[in-house]
Structure 1
Amino acid sequence: MAGKPKIKELLNESACAHSPTKKAACNAPTPGATTGGCAFEGAQISLFPYADAAHLVHGPITCLGASWETRATKTSHPGRDFTQMGFTTDITNNDVVFGGEGKLRDAIAHILTHYAPSAIFVYATCVTALIGDDIDAICKEAAEQYGLPVVPVHAPGFVGGKNLGSRLGGEAVLRHLIGTAEPEFTTDFDINLIGEYNVTGDLWQYSHLLEELGIRVLSTLSGDGRIAAIRTAHRARLNVLVCAKSLISLTRKMQERYDIPFVSLSFYGKRDTSAGLLAIAEALGDSDLIERTQKLIVREEAKLEERLAPYREVFRGKKAVLNTGGNKAWSIAAALQDLGIEVVATAVGKSTEADREKAREYLGPDAVLMTKPGQEQARIIDETGAQLLLAGGRSLYTAIKKGIAFADVNQEKKKSYGGYAGLLNLAEDLRNALENPVFRNVARRAPWEK
């Protein structure tokens, strides 16, 4: 497990059905493709929710400033929440000439002396990777000296986009954390949640249902995660890949190394939440668990439908354009369909081939899969008469210009839309947006304008 991860191997993922059929490797970098998110940012997205770990960016301070606190990844950790703190070695021109390894050693020592985290993730960036700082040797030396994990993360921005960076973050955890400790006890229903980052508390919308069923979340990568828990992840009975195809390399390798099977699912919307709970029960292979899960689903769906009834008339006949990225191209679309809203277009520019297939499956043959949503969404709104635009904050101006309702569903969102309860949150926000007169009035011309 020593040495740097091999980028070529991560690009050609055997567990991805599309890799053998593509002329170019999955997520292969192209000039300019890191605009909107580089590999370094992707690695931080995967690992940052570990609130008991310090995240040390070995690079210029701008790298930290561009990536820190980009998502509301909530934690219930009782101690210090390191997601609220940014650490960097602040590499300067002088360090480029003479090397930044001394600064890195000093930074690690300072963090361990003054903050006492459970682990430190050390992120290589473009500058420090190019000048050749040996973060592997320094992390190994520090781990032996201080007696806790100091994990090198080889995800400099120039190697590719966020998707590849997430894979590299998973690779770092697999190489340096998973399998390095044993749990106090195990159960027949221990699972790992892979790719669940607990953005705005998504994990907490369904974790209580798993607990009710007797399914224990042994560890997560990495929402509301703990370093001690991820070190024991090799003892789980099942890996559950939650809306994160970028981490399929990790689950495939854990299956090969530890004989842990995996399932891939989503907890957005009624249908996918129910299907996800049942898929976990079926994968664990216990008939009693499957029966209890089916009963729980019937109960929860009935409660949800009763509470959704007042919203149904509001959403009747409504059309939406969805401009987000990755798995949300289909997972949020599924939730909208569960509310009775027709999704006429979704953005797939940053989605994997598997995500695009899912989007087409959910939306049908007539919907538009936008590869350049910035150029396409305004035209599609005009052509389809869509009344809703769901996207990130930058698309708000398109909604204002077109005089239609807008909802932010990207990482900047303030509420969770995961699980059954999250669908109610989404319904409430969309109803408020549709009934808000601001979106209709703000685009109107003043009475004295022609």
Structure 2
Amino acid sequence: MVMNKRATKVRQRSYSCTMPGVWRAVSHNEGAVVIYHSPEACGHISREMDLGMHFRSLALHQFNPEQYSAPLVISGLQEEHSIFGGAGLLRDCIDKVVQKYQPEYIMIANSCVAGVIGDDTAAVASEAEEALGIPIMAVPCYGYLDGDYYTGFYQAGKLLAERFMVSQPKLINTVTLLGDRGGPNGVDAQEIKRLLAYFGLKVYCHFPAFASLEDIRRVPFTALSVPLSGTKLSYPWIRKLGLELDDTLGVPFFDGDYPSGWQSTTRWLKDLGRFIQQEDTAELAIKMEKQRLDSHVAECSTVLKDKKIVLCVGRPLLYFDPAWVLELLQLYRINVTGIVVLNEMFTTEQEQTVRQELDKQKEIAVFSEAEGQAVLEAADIVITTHELADIRKKQLYLPLLPLAGVGGIITLMTKLVHLVKRHNRRGGIMYV
């Protein structure tokens, strides 16, 4: 009984490390330096994450060569430190970082190893701060031991707020965006800014990521904070951060569902209108967005009409909500000939929950991989969560994070149209 209970609890969060969350929270904050109190190998996790983000930003023409990238330094814990402790090693690392980079502040992320051997990194940070005269903060979580990526992201943001923010008079119509989602130039951030503009709201800060110290200190001036995150994994932590900023600094937190898909976008606009007492503006915004969406649907309908499209699902519900994809397919009046569940990607329990969710809709047949081979073979297009081995098949790869607003819908469906227009003999995968 105990083992089953623990397994159920563990699956409620992702299997990830807190350190990359700390890194991502401040990696583009001017003047910051991050220290991983860890073995050298731990740095490769963040390196791979940043390489992926770098190439993605290049592909989307969002790369900013002048964007600050914080140095990431590894303290270099080794086998001997498991016996004698690594506090001295960390202190030497801090001294070298200050001498070489002269940072405005240092954020220390702890590894599992530091937690197991019991290094008091908070005490080391406090002593070093007193001696060196710059803010040095140790995040109170340890690798995989007591949290995940989003825990580290939240804890880093909380430390920045505690150290650098004080309550201030509010500037009317200003907003702080909470979260990451590709940064200020990302498609989601730009879409949220466009929706906020209907209400005369202007984004003043982006926190905790992509923020200079000046930006961080400006957060308490803002009249509203809006979450830039909407997944089951990330939103609870962003919500926690927003509510704490509300409680301690008087920055009202808009606790609304993320606008992914048309119904969610409509609900988000209505909720925001009620929250800031601009219900009429919200109704006007919904009308304008509906016209924009209808125009794109009409533009795409002639291309998508009569195409046989199959949806392949291989992500657990913790990471993927099929409802927003099915809504888009219905909006664009697409002929979905079947949904194929990619069995190999799931545990038995995960597959059962996915099938139960998909079976709620009655219009489209749901198949296992074996059952769905004929449907896949006959399909013109496959919309999928995983790359299929058959490279002859035209595949639209769904993003892990649903895109925001009508702009997100248009981005995804325009990709689908481009894929349809490829020559019939040209297959391959198109990423959103």
Same topology, TM > 0.5:
yes
Pick from 298, 309, 328: which aligns with 2:298? Answer: 309
Change (3 A) 1:337 1:296: same
Change (3 A) 1:219 1:37: same
What is the Cα deviation at residue 195 of structure 1? 3.3
- Matching residue of 1:58: 37
Q: Is the 8 A contact 2:129 2:135 kept in 1?
A: yes
Supply the distance in 2 between the matched residues of 1:339 and 1:202 (Cα, whole angstroms). 21
Q: Is the 8 A contact 1:400 1:439 kept in 2?
A: no
- Matching residue of 2:264: 272
**CA root-mean-square deviation:** 4.4
Q: Is the 8 A contact 2:383 2:398 kept in 1?
A: no
Supply the distance in 1 between the matched residues of 2:368 and 2:23 (Cα, whole angstroms). 30
Is 1:169 aligned to residue 158 of structure 2?
no
Pick from 266, 272, 282: which aligns with 2:274? Answer: 282
Supply the distance in 2 between the matched residues of 1:149 and 1:305 (Cα, whole angstroms). 52
Supply the distance in 2 between the matched residues of 1:363 and 1:107 (Cα, whole angstroms). 55
Q: 1:223-259 CA distances to partner (integer Å, 9 max, x unpaired)?
A: 5444443455455444433303231333444455456
Aligned positions of 1:137-216 closer than 5 A: 137-159=123-145, 162=148, 165-178=149-162, 180-182=164-166, 186-198=170-182, 200-211=186-197, 213-216=199-202
Q: Is the 8 A contact 2:167 2:220 kept in 1?
A: no
* Matched residue SS, 1:154: strand
Q: Is the 8 A contact 1:323 1:389 kept in 2?
A: no
What is the Cα deviation at residue 184 of structure 1? 7.5
* Matched residue SS, 2:53: coil
* Matched residue SS, 1:429: helix
Aligned positions of 1:104-143 closer than 5 A: 104-143=90-129
Q: 1:335-388 CA distances to partner (integer Å, 9 max, x unpaired)?
A: 5554445594789979xx9xx99x95x9844599x9xxxxx9734753865642
Is 1:82 aligned to residue 69 of structure 2?
yes
Q: 1:124-155 CA distances to partner (integer Å, 9 max, x unpaired)?
A: 01111111222111222344445544332233
Q: Is the 8 A contact 2:199 2:281 kept in 1?
A: yes
Is 1:68 aligned to residue 44 of structure 2?
no
What is the Cα deviation at residue 76 of structure 1? 9.1
Supply the distance in 2 between the matched residues of 1:52 and 1:77 (Cα, whole angstroms). 17
Q: Is the 8 A contact 2:35 2:108 kept in 1?
A: yes
Aligned-partner residue type, residue 61 of structure 1: E
TM-score by length of 2: 0.71
Aligned-partner residue type, residue 180 of structure 1: F
Change (3 A) 1:24 1:263: farther
Pick from 381, 384, 407: which aligns with 1:390? Answer: 384
Supply the distance in 1 between the matched residues of 2:331 and 2:167 (Cα, whole angstroms). 39
Aligned-partner residue type, residue 74 of structure 2: T
- Matching residue of 1:447: none
Q: Is the 8 A contact 2:170 2:223 kept in 1?
A: no
What is the Cα deviation at residue 271 of structure 1? 3.8
Any unmatched runs of 5+ in structure 1?
A: 1-22, 371-375, 443-450
Aligned-partner residue type, residue 249 of structure 1: K
What is the Cα deviation at residue 203 of structure 1? 0.7
Q: Is the 8 A contact 1:255 1:262 kept in 2?
A: no
Supply the distance in 2 between the matched residues of 1:52 and 1:78 (Cα, whole angstroms). 17
Change (3 A) 1:80 1:311: closer
What is the Cα deviation at residue 123 of structure 1? 0.9
- Matching residue of 2:405: 419
- Matching residue of 2:311: 320
Change (3 A) 1:439 1:109: farther
Change (3 A) 1:264 1:330: farther
Give aligned-pair identity as a percent. Answer: 17
Q: Is the 8 A contact 2:141 2:147 kept in 1?
A: no
Q: Is the 8 A contact 2:297 2:331 kept in 1?
A: no
Pick from 376, 395, 410: which aligns with 1:406? Answer: 395
Change (3 A) 1:201 1:297: same
What is the Cα deviation at residue 105 of structure 1? 2.5
Change (3 A) 1:408 1:338: same
- Matching residue of 1:428: 414
Q: 1:163-207 CA distances to partner (integer Å, 9 max, x unpaired)?
A: xx4134313422452473248762243443333432644212331
Change (3 A) 1:168 1:39: closer
Change (3 A) 1:280 1:327: farther
Any unmatched runs of 5+ in structure 2?
A: none
Q: Is the 8 A contact 2:168 2:221 kept in 1?
A: no
Q: Is the 8 A contact 1:269 1:336 kept in 2?
A: no
* Matched residue SS, 1:122: strand
Aligned positions of 1:3-42 closer than 5 A: 28-29=9-10, 37-42=16-21
Change (3 A) 1:142 1:51: same
